[in-house]
Structure 1
């Protein structure tokens, strides 16, 4: 049986594409405007067709392969309420969301998948953009569902809620059902990172893992325009501190045999990738802060896998 084909825009470090690949989809084109993200994709999947381009500048007529695809997917930059951020930044994110929906006009996939913030599903702040999306999709003959998933329900050791839009052409819609949790219990940070914490002989690894019994707070990639790499805002750092982690910075390597067995430790970029459930061999281009931002902005692959399987089941003959 031939694999389903997809185009992924705002592909980032490849988290959503990896999940869709695991669900049986083959990428025809992956698009991202950031050079390092494209380098990451090419390093790990040299055979993928990766194009460095802003979604707002993308012209499908120049990429004929994009016309015959089953799915258009987009893990877009997170939209924010105009009450909390600068208007220009908000408008840019909303323009990308609109562009992803408008791309369905020319590509005409059987299904559309957009992943973003939970508030996009039902917050009054986003009623205008939801109405725009409704009109466009109904005009094109799609039916759609909004829903929220938590990555922790799919084996990701992180409390990461994601707002999801899935639209399908009329003949397939009734067969679609949002994915249900794949794990009976959430994976705590200690279990997810114990092996890596002990890798250099740190004597505190066992005790640290035994008390890190919660899933991780949501990783936040942050803005490319501000600051260095840390694990998030003040409340998030306090949650990390309760697990013995200094969330104010990232380490270059995991603790070694000479490090304090009872002190606060810092996570590495590689450990952040494990908390996003990237495969251990997946590499990220760039320096430490740039690598962490790619990870923090990504969609965890297991969530993409679950969504891909649900969409594939609906598209099955």
Structure 2
């Protein structure tokens, strides 16, 4: 009989880890430790999770960061819109899904796709000009930009979203009629326009004949060395079995140290002499508040007197934590991503590692264009876990602890 996993209070976890309760609260805030809350609102931890964390911080275990890849190939294929530099497509391929076509408007991103996967069918074109009626795909996927809709006098149906890129995503679904659909976006879509934008999207997809649910997935719990949250929608055609799987979060995180081990040397941005002198004063894990007060005021300017933590400014990453969310520019003042120990922005290959791209995945264009492609990408390992959930759904093999099941034949969770 398997050993039952106990729940631990924050005091129990403190004793087991030999750290203070304040430290555990700080780790929780940083996303290094997961909690569930009891009915009374008390912090409750899994004994198994605490044991894994104890082994990790003691140096007795490593999660051996790697780009995940399944040896098993499924019979299912994907058409992807707004493909970018290929993070989602590569992760889905690594999970065992075939790539039938990729559509992307940006010429530099298209070149990246073609250089790395010459056998992929990459169509570099405005998605609004693509005729999908002759395409057969099991899955239609896309990270469509979040756009505001006009609600005045609208019924919020398919025709009402015309003119948005979501309309093109929905049109592809209408014309192809795939078995499943996958959409991903920033977490903010959930609250965009008081939630009405997302509800419009879900209603349109329902009208097109799909059961759809969504979850916020946190990349740091999916073998990605980065605190990055994405809203993921998964749907299944209503004439099929009526259940979809979402991947469950793992009980560990991957640190910057693990991700950047033996990273290849590459190009990267450089600080100006003035910026270098400022960032040299910031300790590992620190940010602008770590600077002397007079330098804080000079560096921050008017922002110094505004509210909010502004914790991305003059920010140096920590070796033993996942990175903050990568942006399109590692030296952008509002979202600084300084190397944990060297006083410089992260390089292109360091950026790619933190997004879980393999070292042999090449990015076309200038250094600035490469950063932009990587920063905009879906983390490859996150896409891998999503891909495994899609395959399990299509195979109707859902009795697996790696997945959370949404059953549309019953009340939604």
Same fold (TM over 0.5): yes
Question: Secondary structure of the equivalent of 1:176?
Answer: strand
Aligned length, in residue pairs: 267
Q: CA distance change for structure 1 residues 50 and 197 in 2, over 3 Å: closer, same or farther? A: closer
Match of 1:190 among 234, 252, 257: 257
| Alignment deviations for residues 205-234 of structure 1 (CA, whole Å, 9 cap, x no partner) | xxx89961121111112xxxxxxx334452
Kept after mapping to 2: 8 A contact 1:79/1:116: no
* Distance apart, 1:290 and its partner CA: 0.5
- Choose from 219, 230, 238 the match for 2:330: 230
* Cα distance in 2, alignment partners of residues 310 and 109 from structure 1: 16
Aligned to 2:155: none
Structure 2: stretches of 5+ with no match in the other structure:
1-72, 151-160, 267-283, 286-316, 397-413
2:227 counterpart SS class: coil
Structure 1 runs of 4+ with >6 Å offset: none
Which structure would you say has the larger Rg? 2
**1:303 aligned to 2:382?**
yes
Corresponding residue to 1:19 among 91, 94, 101: 91
Q: 1:223-267 deviations in whole A, cap 9, x for unaligned?
A: xxxxxx334452x32xx45934xxxxxxxxxxxxxxxxxx51332
Greater length-normalized contact order (CA 8 Å, ≥ 6 residues apart): 1
CA RMSD of aligned residues (A): 2.9
Which one of the candidate residues 179, 184, 189 is aligned to 1:115?
184
- Long gaps (5+) in structure 1: 83-91, 200-207, 222-228, 245-262
3-state SS, counterpart of residue 259 of structure 2:
helix
State the TM-score, normalizing by the size of structure 1.
0.76
> Shift of the alpha carbon at 1:28?
0.9
- Choose from 218, 221, 234 the match for 1:166: 234
Q: Tell me by how many angstroms 1:101 deviates.
A: 1.9
Q: Does the aligned pair in 2 maintain the 1:79–1:117 contact within 8 Å?
A: no
Is 1:217 aligned with 2:324? yes
TM-score by length of 2: 0.59
**C-alpha spacing 1:299/1:126, structure 2 compared with 1 (3 Å):** farther
- Pairwise CA distance, 1:132: 2.6
- Richer in helix (by share): 1
List per-residue Cα deviations over 1:259-310 (Å, max 9, x = no partner). xxxx513321111001100011100111100011000000011111111111
The correspondence for 1:106, drawn from 171, 175, 179, is 175
- Does the 8 A contact of 1:219 with 1:232 survive in 2? no
Q: Which of 100, 104, 112 lines up with 1:28 in the alignment?
A: 100
Cross-structure match for 1:250:
none
Q: How does 1:1-317 map to 2 (within 5 A)?
A: 3-61=75-133, 64=134, 66=135, 68-77=136-145, 95-121=164-190, 123=191, 125=193, 127-172=195-240, 174-182=242-250, 184-196=251-263, 212-221=319-328, 229-234=329-334, 236-237=335-336, 240=337, 243-244=340-341, 264-316=343-395
Secondary structure of 2:230's aligned partner: strand
Shift of 1:158: 0.4
Give the 3-state SS of the residue equivalent to 2:120 in structure 1.
Answer: coil
Closer/same/farther in 2, CA of residues 19 and 2 from structure 1, 3 Å limit: closer
